[in-house]
A and B are shown apart, each in its own frame.
Chain A
Amino acid sequence: MRALERLLVDKGLVDPAALDAVIETYEHRVGPRNGAQVVARAWTEPQYRQWLMQDATAAIASLGYTGRQGEHMIAVENTPQVHNMVVCTLCSCYPWSVLGLPPMWYKSAPYRSRAVSDPRGVLKEFGVEVDAGVEVRVWDSTAELRYLVIPERPAGTDGWSAERLAELVTRDSMIGVARLAVPA
C-alpha cells in the first residue's frame, strides 16, 4: 500500500494534499448527520417532504448535500403499512452524500446475501420485528440511484424542532434496519 502510494506521489499522479482533503471530507464533513437533517426537515415541513418524495436529488441538494455516491437520490418513506430497507447485493452502493461511508456490516456477505432473501430474519438480528401484514420493501441498489429511508417519526415528539428531531435520527434508521424512539 505504502509502496503504491509513494510511487503515485513520486510520479506526480496524486497530490498528497488532495489525498488528505479526501480523507478529511469523509472523516469529518460527510456523514449521517446530513441525512438526519433531511429526515427532520421532511417530518416538520410538509412542502419539503413533498419535494423530497418527488425529487429527492434536488430537495437534498438544497440543504447542501451533493456529490459522489449521491448524484441520483430517491427517498423512500416508512409508514404503518410499509417498512423499507436498503442493500446493495452486488457491491456496497450507499448514499455517501447523506450517510457517509458505509459500515462494515452493510458491506459484508451476511447482509448482502440475506437482505433480499430473508429481510425479516436480518431485521430481527437488528432487534426489529415487522408485523406479518406489513410489507417489507427491500431496495437492491443495483444502478446509480441511491436510496434514503425516511423512518417513521417517533411518538411523543409533537412540537419538537427540526434540530431536536435530527438528534434522534440514526444511521441505521435511514438504511432501514432500525426504528426510532424517544429515549426513556
Chain B
Amino acid sequence: MNGGQDLGGVQGFGPVVPEPNEPWFHAEWERRAFAITLGCGFLGRWNLDMSRYYRENRSPADYYNSGYYELWFKALERLVVDRGLVSEEELRSGKPAGPRDPALSVPGPQRACELLALGSSARVEVEVPARFAVGARVRVKNLHPMGHTRMPRYCRGHVGTVEIDHGVYVFPDSHAMDQGKQPQHCYNVRFSAGELWGHAGPDTVRIDLWDDYLEPA
C-alpha cells in the first residue's frame, strides 16, 4: 500500500538525531510491547509479513504520530483478535471468557530462546525458474497494490541491473494477505542515483525485489 511506511525520498522530516548511549528500551511499556509481540508470534497464527501489514495499514497521520513500539502494540491488538487468539469481548474486558485453543503450543523460556536462535527462514526450498539473470536490465513495474508490498514507491518505473539472485523466497505481497507463499526469486537490483534522483556522481541504491515486481527493460 502507498502508506506512511513507504518513506524513501519523502522530504520534510529534518535531520537524523542519534541519541548517545541509547538504552535498548526507553520505557517499561516498550519492553512489554516487544516481548508480548514476540511471545504471541511464537504461536504461529500469523507471519512476519502480516505483522508488517498490520503496523502500516492505517492513516499516514496515525503512522507518523505513533512511536515504534506503539505501532507494534496497535498491530498486536488487532492481530490477536483477527487471528482468533482472543475475542473482541475479551480484549474489551481484559478478562478471558474461556481457555485458549488447546491446539496451540505455548513455549516456555527455554523453547522461546531456541526459537529466537533458530529464527524463521523466508527461503522456500522449491525449484522455481528465475525470470532474470544476473546482469539483466530490469524495470520496476508501475504497480500500486492496495495490500502489503515491499516495492518502494521511489523505484517504481525505474530501470536497474540485477546484481544478485538471492534464490527463492516467500512473496510478501501474498503472504501478508493470507494468500499463500507464491515462492519466487528475489534479486538485489542496482539503481544509479542518477536514475532514481537525478543526481550526478557514482552513488547507487541496491534494492531487494521479487520477480513479480519486475519486467525486462
A interface vs B, CB < 8 Å? 1-8, 10-15, 17-23, 25-27, 66-72, 74, 89-92, 97, 100-101, 103-105, 107-114, 116-117, 119-120, 122, 125-126, 132-145, 172
Whole-angstrom distance between the Cβ of A50 and the nearest chain B Cβ: 17
Contact B36 A142 (CB under 8 A): no
Residues of B within 8 A of A138 (CB): 203-206
Contact with A along B26-56 (1 / 0, CB 8 A): 1001011111101110110000000010011
Counting residue pairs across A and B whose Cβ atoms lie within 8 Å, the total is 242
CA distance A15 to B113 in the complex (A): 13
A141 closest partner in B (C-beta)? B208
Residues of B within 8 A of A101 (CB): 24, 34
B151 closest partner in A (C-beta)? A142
Within 8 A of A (CB), among B119-165: 119-123, 150-152, 154, 164
| Known A91-B52, A120-B203; 9 more pairs at CB < 8 Å | A4-B36, A11-B90, A12-B106, A13-B39, A22-B39, A67-B116, A104-B22, A113-B9, A134-B202
Contact B106 A113 (CB under 8 A): no
Residues of A within 8 A of B39 (CB): 8, 13-15, 18-19, 22
B interface vs A, CB < 8 Å? 5-11, 13-19, 22, 24-26, 29, 31-36, 38-40, 42-43, 52, 55-56, 64, 68, 73, 76-77, 80, 85-86, 90-91, 94-96, 99-100, 104, 106-113, 115-123, 150-152, 154, 164, 166, 169-170, 172, 186, 188, 196-197, 201-210
Partner of B100, one of A13, A89, A100: A13
Contact A139 B206 (CB under 8 A): yes
Residues of A within 8 A of B76 (CB): 4
5 CB-based A-B contacts, threshold 8 Å: A12-B99, A74-B164, A104-B68, A125-B15, A136-B204
5 shortest A-B CB distances, which residue pairs?
A143-B208, A89-B8, A21-B109, A144-B122, A14-B39
